[in-house]
Amino acid sequence: MLNGIRSVSTALGSGLLRVHHSCRGLLDELPGYAWPEEATARGEDKPIKCHDHSCDGLRYVIHSTAHVRRQVSDVLKDSG
């Protein structure tokens, strides 16, 4: 799960991923995607599992297709 969260964070932070305004469920969930302070204090690295279905779907799609995006990126680099 953490690798998927990192993949989404990297894609959003680098501008490779943008969320369309029509994705209301995801846009509503993203600000609430957080880690419980108690778990973080214990060294546990896991988000709060509440109202996160869209975030989970985004994480799954981004992380499970990372190899395809890398291949496309490599092809584009080689052709340019």
Supply the pLDDT for residue 43.
Answer: 79
CB atoms within 10 A of CB 61: 14
Segment 6-18, tens digit of pLDDT:
888 888 898 888 9
State the Cα–Cα distance between residues 13 and 1, nearest whole angstrom. Answer: 18
The CB density around residue 43, as the number of other CB atoms within 10 Å, is 6
pLDDT of residue 27: 95
Average pLDDT (64-73) is 73
Instruction: Please give the Cα distance from 65 to 57 (Å, whole number).
Output: 12
Q: For residue range 23-48, what is the model confidence (pLDDT) as tens digits?
A: 999 999 988 888 778 877 887 777 77
Using pLDDT thresholds of 50, 70 and 90, give the confidence band for residue 21.
very high
Give the end-to-end CA distance of the chain in Å, rounded to a whole number.
34
Query: In whole numbers, what is the pLDDT of the chain averaged over residues?
Result: 83
* Whole-structure pTM value: 0.68
